[in-house]
Amino acid sequence: TLPAKVRIVEVGPRDGLQNEKQVIPADTKVSLIRRLEAAGLKAIETTSFVSPKWVPQMGDNTEVLTRVLAEAAPGVDYPVLTPNMKGFEAALAAGAREVAVFGAASESFSQKNINCSIAESLERFRPVLEAAAAADVRVRGYVSCVAGCPYEGSVAPEAVAEVAGTLLDMGCYEVSLGDTIGSGNPASIQRMLEAVQRRVPVHQLAGHYHDTYGMAVANIHASLQAGVSVFDASVAGLGGCPYAAGASGNVATEDVVWLMNSLGVDTGIDLNALVDTAAWISSQLGREPASKVARALLAK
Ligand code: HMG
Ligand code: MG
């Protein structure tokens, strides 16, 4: 049986926008987050405290987070990415109450993305988790390349389980499993989840699936059947990954909501308001929403 309800973590303002080449004003980012709140999203990944030399689009992190938190909606979490202590300290100074550390199950991706090995990355996360615990800040963990790596090809499910288990042991409240390049399919995702569940209880897992080959919705359905009840998604299917050439954005939030509505699984999200938000941000970026659900509903 499927879970009665799922939690959706909106990652559009971060994962969706981080790869955009055009300058997106902080006003637009804040406005996007306000619209997502109004549509019912309860977790909105707001920005990342990474090096502006590596990801220029997130260079306005302090301004965006400070403005968002100044008028925070009740009951909404605003996590931000923090790869190291420098990022964590800046996030804390801006008022963050939840952060995320992000590792990978593949050595080459770890090097390209955060400029260190998997083992080194975990050592950098350890003080972040300690400082976060002391400041009563929640920490989410990410594992990238759970179903394949842009540089190495296939990735062993056991490698994913090992990194996910270590993040949990360090104190992450949840581990989000990133199919960074969208190469997973329902069978490979289920095999990966089986291995990970031997280390991490399923209620502490989230699925973070990119839709490069159009498999993300199928992978979410397979994950639901395996007991996963938290999914990351990006409004209008925004995004890609700067360190994974050719990768599309995350699964569109409206595609996930449509799937859940059709399965009778509660999301707490207003689909019409979400689709209007998808149309709005896409027009700000000068394009049509990438998702089929937004296109179909907007054509009505
Ligand atoms: P590094 O160069 O190895 O770091 O970068 P360093 O400690 O040697 O410092 C070098 C310089 O960076 C110094 O400045 C530091 O102060 C500065 P300088 O003295 O040269 O002027 N620096 C920072 N500045 C701002 N914020 C910081 C920070 N840390 C150091 N936090 C680092 C290491 C991790 C910082 C770098 O590699 C980086 O920023 N990478 C970007 C990673 C990123 O944002 N990737 C995209 C997000 S992850 C993702 O999309 C996957 C996910 O969605 C899941 C999935 O789909 O799989 C989560
Ligand atoms: Mg991602």
| pLDDT tens-digit readout, 196-232 | 999 999 999 999 999 999 999 999 999 999 999 999 9
Give me the sheet containing 205-209, strands edge to edge.
43-44, 7-10, 230-233, 205-209, 174-179, 138-144, 98-104, 80-81, 47-48
Q: Which atom of ligand 1 is nearest to the CA of 250?
A: 56
- Please state whether the predicted TM-score (pTM) of the whole model is above 0.90: yes
The set of residues, in sequence order, having a beta carbon less than 8 Å from that of 21 and lying 6+ positions away, is none
Residue with tokens 């090995």: 117
Predicted confidence at residue 242, as pLDDT, reads 59
With a cut of 70, which residues of the chain have pLDDT below it? 240-247
- Rounded distance from Cα 141 to ligand 1 centre (Å): 16
Predicted confidence at residue 106, as pLDDT, reads 98
Q: What angle do CA 235, 238, 241 make, to 5 degrees?
A: 135
- 131-160: pLDDT as tens digits: 999 999 999 999 999 999 999 999 999 999
Q: Which atom of ligand 1 is nearest to the CA of 241?
A: 50
Cβ burial 39-58 (10 Å sphere, 16+ → b, else e): bbbbbbbbbbbbbeeebebb
Residue 103's closest CA among 62, 149, 135, 57?
149
Catalytic residue among 145, 149, 172, 241: 241
- Rounded distance from Cα 215 to ligand 1 centre (Å): 29
Task: Tell me the best of 17, 47, 51 to mutate to test the pocket of ligand 1, counting ligand atoms within 8 Å of each CB and taking the most.
Answer: 51
